[in-house]
Structure 1
């Protein structure tokens, strides 16, 4: 069996979708050694380091194609299908993210992580959302099977009448976090916020809520982890405007080991995004025994499974009060934290690979 996995992303370093693909390919390679996988990536994606996690049954092809989104999409639209048909001749191709699909040259499965271009178009801007809507509609129609990463995303696809429910399967993301040691003097002195530092992730509201309680907890800081995104300058200015700049720390991107330690050491993790397809930080924090305060919007109530403190992501007073409650009662939440950790263990990359391969089988037999 020969399967092509399309993983050409704009980012040079893995974000949410990139991490999904890293976990998927790693575990597919280990579990199905008799299957030949061909992994297509952009030649600029050096930060993904696929070579270190895969077996001999995975051939990595670094495509020398334009990184520019318009030119890249034209290549995917017109040249890729012929490239697949005549060069690789696979039994199936898996598009791991949104990709223009005018016609297919073999059985096709596509992962639709979310439909933000329909539901939260401000995330991309008007013109880009319009383009993405066209791409998503065409991709869903042309694909033999659609995989979504949550029931919320599936319901959205169906409600938008992009396809029938029977064509969609839900395969949850896998979350891998390793235990790390940490210095005792860094424990429980900060709140943690994880995700790209951009307006769409609602980082600004987390800062405002922290500002409301900052005088009550003078020894507590807010650490924000993630790459710079749309609206970073305004977000970075906000702590200065609120007079708390010395207590809000922007750490940028960190290693997996550093992130694991930051979760483990934190008082709590706050994740206030109003629209997500999955929401990695929620499960990652639970895995590392950090209580989670998260938005009650989109998929987050589903993904957190009743083990987080849900808040209205636009109600700063409610968020601030919930922060205070968790800080004040942190030592009395041990049972709840342990239950959340056990729950988080259901989201494994091994299950992700197994369920995805079942979907491959459902198409090609």
Structure 2
């Protein structure tokens, strides 16, 4: 089959980029011809372009999606056009399969760019009505799609993704892929790991507050390592860290190479992933595969993906999050239990 794919998400290193890269690889491994369609219309220059520039860039991207993409698909005579990241043409020469990974734009629109959220609020329901099938990546998201996008009724399929590929952790010290972490007063190498783009939906500000409570409950030697680059409206975490007196205890490392991330998972006391909303949550699978226990939110897809193999907490309550961390890193039996259950749960997912 000749499959066209709207592949602009490949420019993203995390999230949708991970999904699309694996999707293309797996389709080609199954002897499908995959044709990638991409544009080069991303904003250049300032990280915060003016409103006029954002509008112009947005209009160019809309034109590419609604005009250039279907014309290119027609020229290449694709059998199906796969749109894996919410957007696609309303009129297409080939059947469209639309992927709606989550409903952030309807459920938590305040956590994303307002202009883009409004665009998706109008486009996705119309696309869902015209698409041949609508695919999502968790039952939680499928339930929300059925409730909030009636046009998708009867054509929603759930296709769980697999675990993103990480290199095996390196052994020994001194390796260039093993980060050197500053030790807080009192020394020790114990740390909790957070992974994900730094944006409001990931709930970093509350997580840091929870970490402060956790340290005050008898874990003063523990550190918090944040691995994730800045995203939309990245919170000023440094200000919150200073306010809570955690300057020596919290390290923001930014976006890291896969090998470094693999080592961090291996040595972490736990992955702390209290996101407000996710369509899936790849770091949960990465951690479980790496033998790292997970403390995550009791909402949306995170509870579904983790099932009984994670420690669930209320992401709106720093006390609940602190208790969850203490229940895992302060109890060796519970930690070992989650490691075993996590590896077993991760094996349930494949590409």
The equivalent residue for 2:157 is: 169
Distance 1:136 1:44, change over 3 A: closer
Once the two structures are TM-superposed, the CA of residue 239 in structure 1 deviates from its matched residue by 0.7
Distance 1:233 1:335, change over 3 A: closer
Distance 1:277 1:233, change over 3 A: closer
Once the two structures are TM-superposed, the CA of residue 316 in structure 1 deviates from its matched residue by 0.8
Q: Does 1:128 align with 2:116?
A: yes
Q: Does 1:208 align with 2:220?
A: no
The equivalent residue for 1:27 is: 26
Q: 1:109-148 CA distances to partner (integer Å, 9 max, x unpaired)?
A: 1111011111111122444322111111121112101110
Q: Does 1:197 align with 2:186?
A: no
Distance 1:2 1:128, change over 3 A: closer
The equivalent residue for 2:297 is: 295
Q: 1:300-341 CA distances to partner (integer Å, 9 max, x unpaired)?
A: 111111211111101111111221221211355323311211
Q: Take 1:26 and 1:37, find their aligned partners in 2: how far apart are those partners?
A: 9
**From 62, 66, 75, the counterpart of 1:73:** 62
The equivalent residue for 1:244 is: 246
Q: Does 1:5 align with 2:27?
A: no
Q: Secondary structure at the match of 2:73?
A: helix
Q: Secondary structure at the match of 1:293?
A: strand
Once the two structures are TM-superposed, the CA of residue 188 in structure 1 deviates from its matched residue by 6.0
Q: Take 2:64 and 2:193, find their aligned partners in 1: how far apart are those partners?
A: 40
Preserved contact between residue 88 and residue 98 of structure 2 (Cα < 8 Å): no
Preserved contact between residue 104 and residue 142 of structure 1 (Cα < 8 Å): no
The equivalent residue for 1:37 is: 34
Preserved contact between residue 181 and residue 261 of structure 1 (Cα < 8 Å): yes
Q: Take 2:56 and 2:166, find their aligned partners in 1: how far apart are those partners?
A: 31
How do 1:254-265 residues align onto structure 2 when only pairs under 5 Å count?
254-265=256-267
The equivalent residue for 2:167 is: 178
The equivalent residue for 1:60 is: none
The equivalent residue for 2:338 is: 336
Q: Which 10-residue stretch deviates more, 68-77 or 202-211?
A: 68-77
Two-structure CA RMSD over aligned residues (Å) = 2.2
Distance 1:197 1:79, change over 3 A: same
Once the two structures are TM-superposed, the CA of residue 193 in structure 1 deviates from its matched residue by 0.5
Once the two structures are TM-superposed, the CA of residue 231 in structure 1 deviates from its matched residue by 3.9
Preserved contact between residue 199 and residue 235 of structure 2 (Cα < 8 Å): no
Q: Take 2:94 and 2:299, find their aligned partners in 1: how far apart are those partners?
A: 37
Preserved contact between residue 198 and residue 230 of structure 1 (Cα < 8 Å): yes
Once the two structures are TM-superposed, the CA of residue 177 in structure 1 deviates from its matched residue by 3.1
TM-score (norm 1): 0.83
Where structure 1 has 5 or more consecutive residues not aligned to the other structure, the ranges are: 46-65, 350-365
Distance 1:247 1:183, change over 3 A: farther
Once the two structures are TM-superposed, the CA of residue 70 in structure 1 deviates from its matched residue by 2.8
Q: 1:189-211 CA distances to partner (integer Å, 9 max, x unpaired)?
A: 10000101111110111111111
Distance 1:188 1:347, change over 3 A: farther
Where structure 2 has 5 or more consecutive residues not aligned to the other structure, the ranges are: 43-54, 175-180, 182-187
Once the two structures are TM-superposed, the CA of residue 22 in structure 1 deviates from its matched residue by 0.8
Preserved contact between residue 80 and residue 94 of structure 2 (Cα < 8 Å): yes
Q: Take 2:34 and 2:114, find their aligned partners in 1: how far apart are those partners?
A: 37
Q: Secondary structure at the match of 1:275?
A: coil
TM-score (norm 2): 0.86
Preserved contact between residue 73 and residue 100 of structure 1 (Cα < 8 Å): no
Q: How many residues align?
A: 325
Preserved contact between residue 199 and residue 235 of structure 1 (Cα < 8 Å): no
The equivalent residue for 1:84 is: 73
Q: Secondary structure at the match of 2:161?
A: coil
Distance 1:332 1:128, change over 3 A: closer
